[in-house]
Amino acid sequence: MISLEILSQLGEFIGGFGVIFTLIYLAIQLRSNTSSQRADMTARILERLSAQQRFMGSDAEANKFFLLAVTDPTKLSVEERSRYMWIMYEFYGSMEFLMQQYEAGNVNEQLWQRWLHTLDYWLSFPGVKAIWLGRATPFTDSFTELVELRLMKDDFSFNTTNSRSFMLTGTIPQREGAE
């Protein structure tokens, strides 16, 4: 016959496994929840940037205004430059937030690099540079340093020539050696 003391020790032993199983289960759930939160954060950032792009691309007048603003802001009225300034502050703010989320580990490297090239592309336009250089709104030190370094590097080579050519002329330059 099993004594109460042995049953008590057996109960403690089984209870210990229950605690270990519960801790493992909680760790798995926490990890899954963290992944979900990161995915949600990335989706919200992309929705913010996508909304801007969608508006500029779907509204003919907004698109015409934006194209003029990025290529030659001197042709804009004071009110139009003010409107353009707010549009660009939204873009820069979205990029700053994306960078913060990347640094926090919530955005993967490939996605960050894609948007970093997008930032470079837009910085190649005189109107986008002008807004940055004349900004009245401060950004975080780390984002300011990122943009300043990219402007100093002045290497906006990621397909900028082809894209700008297509946007302004509807054609893409022939590659050397292409037939």
Yes or no: say if 99 and 142 are a contact pair by the CB < 8 Å rule: yes
State residue 160's pLDDT score: 66
State residue 136's pLDDT score: 83
Closest CA to 139 of 88, 102, 105: 88
Q: Is residue 106 part of a domain?
A: yes
Q: Is residue 26 part of a domain?
A: no
Which amino acid, 86? W
Q: Is residue 4 part of a domain?
A: no
pLDDT tens over the chain, length 179 residues: 777 777 677 777 777 777 777 767 666 666 666 667 767 777 777 787 788 888 778 888 988 999 999 999 999 999 999 999 999 998 999 999 999 989 988 888 998 998 898 898 889 899 999 999 999 878 999 999 999 999 998 776 666 677 777 777 777 776 555 44
Q: Is residue 91 part of a domain?
A: yes
Q: Is residue 19 part of a domain?
A: no
Domain that holds residue 139: 43-169
Domain count, the chain: 1
Q: Is residue 90 part of a domain?
A: yes
Q: Is residue 155 part of a domain?
A: yes
* Chain CA centroid to CA 124, Å: 18
State residue 30's pLDDT score: 66
Which amino acid, 157? S
Distance CA 106, CA 102 (A): 5
State residue 81's pLDDT score: 94
Q: Is residue 22 part of a domain?
A: no
List the structure tokens of 136.
């009245």
Model confidence, pTM:
0.70
Q: Which residues contact 172 (CB under 8 A, 6 or more apart)?
A: 162, 165, 166
State residue 174's pLDDT score: 67
